[in-house]
């Protein structure tokens, strides 16, 4: 369907990219679950605050990422007029100014929400000192990733920043918000999730390999090529699964917790690896299937680990 015929609601819904929401909602759930396990209690205000911040952070990222990438998006549209999904700004779905203002508003709303939450929790006798700075850090990672003057996604550091933001900063924010402590052995599962998030960040550049190269955006795919990126991604899935098993096994002696996440990750790694050769440069349909298996490995693996940890805590409390 021609985007020109879309309603205003559909345009904004498309710009929010609902299919990508698990990329932040899973770190939220993992951090909150590990916080519950570490503290042996559930704080529903902390869970709601974490969800609210995660959603505003999500809107902040998707809106400003489209605004920051409009140049390479135009290049991709010119290179593949019928070979890629509609691009928010180049295809006239939303204007550049509208996305910029919506992104800035979302980020400001998220930061205000965290500041209010810190004040509210302190008034309830469960202070979270430094929570506002943590929220600002989560937002700042993306600013360094995609926005001027740093724009590290165009200088070769974008994938590492995505690993830091999605794999550690956001789940750690939610862990601290829920548990109220800065360190626990239950943070070790985040190591495996951080490794897996790097794999996801690398794979995200596969479908934009040639347009990123033409637009001067430095990703592993645009610099080293498709095959190297796929091999690195597949290695990181295995490494992340191993880190999950060792992290839980060596830290708390609960090998099965990390084992659940690792089993799910490897289960999806098998078809990921089997279909790898087909996900070559510009094979967009095969790349989409490749990334679906990758996301299943990461997201379902993390949720499986979180569920196993909660079950372990519940059984131990009985």
pLDDT digits (tens, 9 = 90+) for 96-137: 999 999 999 999 999 999 999 999 999 999 999 999 999 999
- pTM score, whole prediction: 0.96
Helix 255-274, helix 226-252: angle, nearest 10: 170
Q: DSSP character for 86?
A: P
- Please identify which residue in the block is written with the tokens 């279909």: 275
Q: DSSP character for 128?
A: -
Does pLDDT of 147 surpass 90?
no
Rounded Cα distance between 174 and 314, Å, is: 20
Rounded Cα distance between 304 and 244, Å, is: 11
* Cβ–Cβ < 8 Å for 190, 167: yes
Percentage of the residues of the chain whose pLDDT score is greater than 70: 99
- Please identify which residue in the block is written with the tokens 């091999």: 231
* Cβ–Cβ < 8 Å for 305, 30: yes
Query: pLDDT tens digits for 194-240?
Result: 999 999 999 999 999 999 999 999 999 999 999 999 999 999 999 99
Rounded Cα distance between 222 and 235, Å, is: 19
Mean pLDDT of the chain: 95
* Cβ–Cβ < 8 Å for 86, 76: no
Size of the chain in residues: 318
Helix (H, G, I), strand (E, B) or coil at 17: coil
Q: What is the average pLDDT across 256-277?
A: 97
Q: What is the average pLDDT across 72-77?
A: 91
Cα separations in angstroms, 236 against 24, 66, 127, 146, 277: 19, 27, 37, 24, 17
- Please identify which residue in the block is written with the tokens 């994938």: 159
pLDDT grade for 318, boundaries at 50, 70 and 90: very low
Query: pLDDT tens digits for 21-70?
Result: 999 999 999 999 999 999 999 999 999 999 999 999 999 999 999 999 99
Does pLDDT of 1 surpass 70?
no
Among candidate residues 315, 313, 266, the one with its CA nearest the CA of residue 293: 266
End-to-end CA distance of the chain: 55
Burial bucket for residue 131 (CB in 10 Å: 0-12, 13-18, 19+): buried
Quick one: tokens of 242? 């191993």
Is the alpha carbon torsion for 72, 77, 79, 83 positive or negative?
A: positive
């Amino acid at each position: 369907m021609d985007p020109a015929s879309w309603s205003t609601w559909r345009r904004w819904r498309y710009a929010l990219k609902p299919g990508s929401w698990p990329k932040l909602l899973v770190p939220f759930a993992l951090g909150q679950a590990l916080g519950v396990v570490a503290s042996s209690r559930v704080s529903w205000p902390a869970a709601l605050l974490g969800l609210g911040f995660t959603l505003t952070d999500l809107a902040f990222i998707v809106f400003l990422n489209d605004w920051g990438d409009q140049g390479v998006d135009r290049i991709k549209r010119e290179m593949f007029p019928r070979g890629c999904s509609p691009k928010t700004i180049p295809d006239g779905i939303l204007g550049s100014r509208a996305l910029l203002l919506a992104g800035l508003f979302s980020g400001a709303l998220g930061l205000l929400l965290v500041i209010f939450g810190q004040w509210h929790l302190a008034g309830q006798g469960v202070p979270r000192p430094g929570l506002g700075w943590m929220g600002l850090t989560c937002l700042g990672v993306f600013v360094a990733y995609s926005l001027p003057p740093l724009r590290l996604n165009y200088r070769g550091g974008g994938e590492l920043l995505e690993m830091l933001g999605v794999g550690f900063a956001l789940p750690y924010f939610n862990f601290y918000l829920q548990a109220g402590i800065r360190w626990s052995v239950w943070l070790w599962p985040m190591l495996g999730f951080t490794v897996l998030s790097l794999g996801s960040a690398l794979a995200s550049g596969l479908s934009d390999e040639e347009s990123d190269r033409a637009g001067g955006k430095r990703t592993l795919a645009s610099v080293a090529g498709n095959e190297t990126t796929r091999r690195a991604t597949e290695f990181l899935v295995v490494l992340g699964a191993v880190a999950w098993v060792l992290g839980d096994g060596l830290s708390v002696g609960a090998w099965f917790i990390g084992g659940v996440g690792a089993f799910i990750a490897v289960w999806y790694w098998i078809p990921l690896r089997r279909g790898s050769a087909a996900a070559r440069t510009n094979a967009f349909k095969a790349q989409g299937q490749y990334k679906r298996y990758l996301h299943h490995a990461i997201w379902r693996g993390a949720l499986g680990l979180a569920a196993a940890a909660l079950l372990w805590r519940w059984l131990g409390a009985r």
